[in-house]
């Protein structure tokens, strides 16, 4: 018997891209994220990996959970996060991936609770490193093209003139710092259950305020190619996992893109409402994007 079949699970709804959704863009403003595409919910089984936590690996599933204590005491204090967390994250990602060099590319906190209260409470709020709601549709933050482009440009500007890297991994290091159990955990999809041709590009548009619907569907300003995510359509083969009762001394690393071949390459993920725990509390989390290079 496969140990993956002997776990608890939650039946939950996941939001997938609907058939015939043509203009797919994600507008992100401080405290709000709006997709122009149409989405539909599907009921899926989400396995709880808690009892077999150490079974999951980056190479096989595309995600891993590890014990890790951060020196950050207050994740609502932007200054404290900036001073401590990027360096800690780079070190942790280096250890988990075995990469030679890790570059941190920004962080974000999320709350399933009162966003405005959190924004007022946050010390040193800025557009970067702000507070957002959970991201509740099946997605991967970068398409392969965007990941390749960003990884090259970042490497050239961080290590000018140096020999090129052989391989890289783009990923999110995710931590929940509110008390368990949480109302809106994150679910991750086993990379082996996702086909290579799955995913529809969703262009990211960062704005100060969400514009009206007509503007959102109109022409985008010319210039640099947009950063593009992949959003996913329903596929009954998708094998979803979550880890119940995550806590602040634990971290989840999930791959957006691995340029290596023959291993897990990308992990669709989404927040979902977990109804298994009637006493569930607000979820507050922090995620850091990194690029890990192998020389």
Which spans of this chain sit near ligand OGA (rule: CB under 6 A)?
A: 110, 134-135, 141, 172, 174, 186, 269, 271, 285, 287
CB-wise, 166 or 275, nearer to ligand OGA?
275
User: Per-residue x/- marks for Fe ion, 173-212, CB under 5 A?
Assistant: ----------------------------------------
- CA angle, 216 then 42 then 2, to 5°: 130
CB-wise, 29 or 204, nearer to Fe ion?
204
CB-wise, 48 or 183, nearer to ligand OGA?
183
Q: Which does 287 bind (CB under 5 to 8 A by kind): ligand OGA, Fe ion, none?
A: ligand OGA
CB-wise, 110 or 248, nearer to Fe ion?
110
Q: Which does 199 bind (CB under 5 to 8 A by kind): Fe ion, ligand OGA, none?
A: none
Shortest distance, position 190 Cβ to Fe ion, whole Å: 16
Residues 6+ apart with CB under 8 A from 6: none
Any idea which residue has 């709020």 for tokens?
125
Shortest distance, position 286 Cβ to ligand OGA, whole Å: 9
CB-wise, 88 or 141, nearer to Fe ion?
141
Q: Which does 134 bind (CB under 5 to 8 A by kind): ligand OGA, Fe ion, none?
A: ligand OGA
Q: Which of 287, 292, 286, 289 is nearest to 74 (CA)?
A: 286
Sign of CA dihedral 197, 149, 267, 59: positive
Backbone angles phi, psi at 21, to 5 degrees: -90, 115
Nearest 10 degrees: CA dihedral of 55, 61, 63, 65? Answer: -10
Element (H, E) at 74: none
Q: Which of 49, 50, 47 is nearest to 12 (CA)?
A: 47
Please give the Cα distance from 183 to 284 (Å, whole number): 10
DSSP class of residue 122? S
CB-wise, 68 or 110, nearer to ligand OGA?
110
CB-wise, 15 or 78, nearer to ligand OGA?
15
List binders of Fe ion among 124-153 (CB under 5 A).
141
Which residues on neighbouring strands pair with residue 242, listed in sequence order? 48
3-state secondary structure of 284: strand
Shortest distance, position 174 Cβ to ligand OGA, whole Å: 5
Shortest distance, position 225 Cβ to ligand OGA, whole Å: 21
Shortest distance, position 259 Cβ to ligand OGA, whole Å: 18
Shortest distance, position 255 Cβ to ligand OGA, whole Å: 11
User: Per-residue x/- marks for Fe ion, 72-111, CB under 5 A?
Assistant: ----------------------------------------
- In b/e form, how buried is each residue of 212-247, taking b as 16+ CB within 10 angstroms? eeeebeeeeeeeeebbbbbbbbbeeebbbbbbbebe
Q: Return residues touching Fe ion (CB under 5 A).
A: 141
């Amino acid at each position: 018997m496969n140990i993956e079949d002997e776990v608890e699970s939650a039946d939950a709804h996941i939001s997938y891209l609907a058939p015939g959704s043509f203009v797919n863009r994600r507008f992100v403003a401080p405290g709000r994220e709006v997709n122009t595409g149409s989405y539909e919910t599907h009921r899926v089984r989400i396995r709880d990996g808690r009892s077999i936590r150490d079974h999951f690996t980056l190479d096989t599933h595309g995600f891993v959970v590890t014990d890790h204590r951060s020196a950050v005491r207050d994740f609502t204090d932007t200054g404290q996060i900036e001073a401590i967390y990027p360096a800690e994250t780079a070190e942790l990602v280096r250890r988990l991936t075995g990469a030679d060099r890790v570059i941190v590319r920004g962080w974000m906190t999320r709350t399933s609770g009162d966003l405005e209260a959190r924004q007022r409470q946050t010390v040193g709020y800025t557009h970067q490193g702000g507070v957002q709601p959970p991201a509740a549709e099946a997605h991967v933050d970068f398409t392969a093209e965007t990941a390749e482009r960003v990884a090259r440009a970042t490497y050239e500007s961080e290590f000018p003139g140096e020999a090129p890297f052989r391989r890289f991994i783009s990923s999110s290091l995710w931590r929940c710092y509110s008390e368990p159990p949480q109302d809106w955990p994150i679910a991750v999809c086993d990379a082996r259950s996702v086909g290579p041709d799955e995913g529809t590009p969703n262009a990211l548009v960062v704005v100060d305020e969400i514009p009206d619907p007509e503007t959102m569907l109109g022409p985008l300003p010319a210039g640099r190619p947009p950063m593009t995510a992949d959003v996913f359509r329903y596929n009954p083969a998708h094998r979803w996992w979550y880890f119940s009762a995550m806590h602040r001394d634990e971290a989840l690393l999930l791959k957006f893109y691995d340029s290596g071949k023959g291993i897990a390459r990308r992990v669709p993920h989404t927040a979902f409402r977990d109804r298994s725990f009637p006493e569930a509390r607000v979820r507050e989390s922090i995620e850091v994007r990194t690029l890990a290079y192998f020389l």
